[in-house]
Structure 1
Amino acid sequence: MPDPRPPKAPSVATVIPAYNESETVAEVVRVALELTPEVVVASDGSDDDTAAVARAAGARVVELSENVGKGAALRAALDATDAEFIVMLDADLTGLTLDHLERMLRPVLDGRLDMSIGVFEGGGFVTDWGNKLTPNLSGQRVCRRDMLLAVPHLGEERWPEPAITAYLKDTGARWDYIELPHVGQVLKEKKRGFWNGAWARTRMYADLVTFRARRKRP
């Protein structure tokens, strides 16, 4: 006899790795809460009010004692939820709306994609240019939680996006880019001052370009 009960809705959580993003994280949390009842912010050794601001905005916060990288923060956030599907967001987004999140989530829930990757469109020249030049490095993604947990060395990468994208290619997963109109990011040079921001950007690209060499490790 068929079960008369309606099928259980899939559980979805938003995870947000964050390092010193007290100026923007509350708005990202606010929008995420319009889509998912569970939002987890992993503060990656922040020495500003990121954790307190995120908590006040309604997120559950995991605090790492020191800055160890986005990969470790992402892994900590994933470990803090058992949701079936994950919306992964950066903490410094601007212009984000519920519609953007639904655009990314819908094709994954429908089974058309294993992962959707959001790319900026019209959010600002610099962030648009960088996102379009290297869209596979976008931090805005939706997929099953178990897919992210299966990415090799996820928690060891300071910037985990190359590892995630490599895993997609290795496994033959179905993925596509989703345009996010009018979404952008606050530039590192603006957040941290020109020289500190430029140094942070240099370190980021150094980590990204050496990923293939590190990938050969056992």
Structure 2
Amino acid sequence: MQISVVLPAKNEAEGLRRTLPALITMFPDAEVIVSDDGSTDATAAVAREAGARVVSAPYSMGNGAAIKRGARAATGEVIVFMDADGQHDPAYISALLAPLGAGFDMVVGARDASGQASRGRSLANGFYNRVASWMTGHVIADLTSGFRAVRAEKFREFIHLLPNGFSYPTTSTMAFFRSAYPVAYVRVPVAKRLGKSHIKPLRDGVRFLLIIFKIATSYSPLKIFAPVSLTFFLMGLSYYGFTFATEGRFTNMSALLLSAAVIVFLIGLVSEQITALTYRLDD
């Protein structure tokens, strides 16, 4: 099968100097695309000198935007996404490709604890994995790994859903599970990145927290809205029982809690229908 390797890059000249020669040597027949996200260093020049095809943006639009540009430009039937910062070893691409031949549509390189940037990131990613596993009913070993191989045709079905920021792995993984496309995980070691991370702890900490809600609303909203609705209902019913027993009346607070239960449930029901329409394949 024809393979395209897409590396999103922003000011990753040093990482590309280490990654591209090994990648091109190991996979000389693969199409190698560096999606330059408005770099201000020699990223594009280094990529061209190594023999990679470069698709550039005039200014930075985000990691997800670079992924989308690279996916649209790729001509292979399988696309391998990997970081350009030297963390991902091209030698493990073959391990990602093997399960595709067994019927899987996406294969993700799952990191262990030693492959996480920090203790905090490791705990956060572990929490994301558990939430996503509960939502999908499948064991998700690494929700946020950017090292993955996908069938290009199926990946492009969801390209309009991908954000321009850093959470494209989350969105694409949940989209594949939602559409019943098989996903496999392969354990791969991850090296320390070269250069400076583009993730800001305060800004991106808030954004990654929102990923939790995005996981829920993009996969099965009722799994979140239904328990919240039930909680409001039980609180309203309990408070009504208490006020009826002590004061012999139905209070405004009980009415508010019971009304909130109905409203939250209806919002969840509408969200579920919207989600179903979003993932419906065009004929």
Which residue pairs with 2:183 in the alignment?
175
CA distance in structure 2 between the partners assigned to 1:206 and 1:126 by the alignment: 17
1:49-87 CA distance string (max 9 Å, x none): 211112222211111011111221111112222211111
Give yes or no for the alignment of 1:191 onto 2:183: no
Which residue pairs with 1:51 in the alignment?
44
Offset, 1:156 = 3.9
Q: How many residues align?
A: 202
Rate the CA distance shift 1:124–1:78 in 2: closer, same or farther, 3 A.
closer
Rate the CA distance shift 1:166–1:94 in 2: closer, same or farther, 3 A.
closer
Offset, 1:124 = 4.5
Give yes or no for the alignment of 1:202 onto 2:205: yes
Give yes or no for the alignment of 1:28 onto 2:23: no
Q: How does 1:130-149 map to 2 (within 5 A)?
A: 130=122, 133=126, 134=129, 135-149=142-156
Rate the CA distance shift 1:112–1:101 in 2: closer, same or farther, 3 A.
same
Give yes or no for the alignment of 1:13 onto 2:1: no
CA distance in structure 2 between the partners assigned to 1:156 and 1:117 by the alignment: 19
Which residue pairs with 1:103 in the alignment?
95
1:21-51 CA distance string (max 9 Å, x none): 1221232222332225210010111112211
Which residue pairs with 1:7 in the alignment?
none
1:145-175 CA distance string (max 9 Å, x none): 1111111524543131121011111111111
Rate the CA distance shift 1:125–1:153 in 2: closer, same or farther, 3 A.
closer
RMSD after superposition = 3.0
Is contact 2:68–2:159 with CA below 8 Å preserved after alignment? no
The one-letter code matched in structure 2 to 1:24 is G
CA distance in structure 2 between the partners assigned to 1:50 and 1:214 by the alignment: 36
**Higher relative contact order structure (alpha carbons within 8 Å, sequence separation ≥ 6):** 1
The one-letter code matched in structure 1 to 2:143 is N
Which residue pairs with 1:160 in the alignment?
168
Task: Choose 1 or 2 for highest CA Rg.
Answer: 2
Rate the CA distance shift 1:26–1:203 in 2: closer, same or farther, 3 A.
farther
Which residue pairs with 1:5 in the alignment?
none
Give yes or no for the alignment of 1:82 onto 2:90: no
In structure 2, which of residues 105, 110, 113 is the aligned counterpart of residue 114 of structure 1? Answer: 105
Is contact 1:41–1:61 with CA below 8 Å preserved after alignment? yes
More strand by share: 1
Identity value in percent: 27
CA distance in structure 2 between the partners assigned to 1:40 and 1:127 by the alignment: 29
Offset, 1:138 = 0.6
CA distance in structure 2 between the partners assigned to 1:72 and 1:125 by the alignment: 23
More helix by share: 2
Segments ≥4 residues shifted beyond 6 Å? none
Offset, 1:93 = 3.1
TM-score, normalised to structure 2's length? 0.62
Is contact 1:120–1:127 with CA below 8 Å preserved after alignment? no
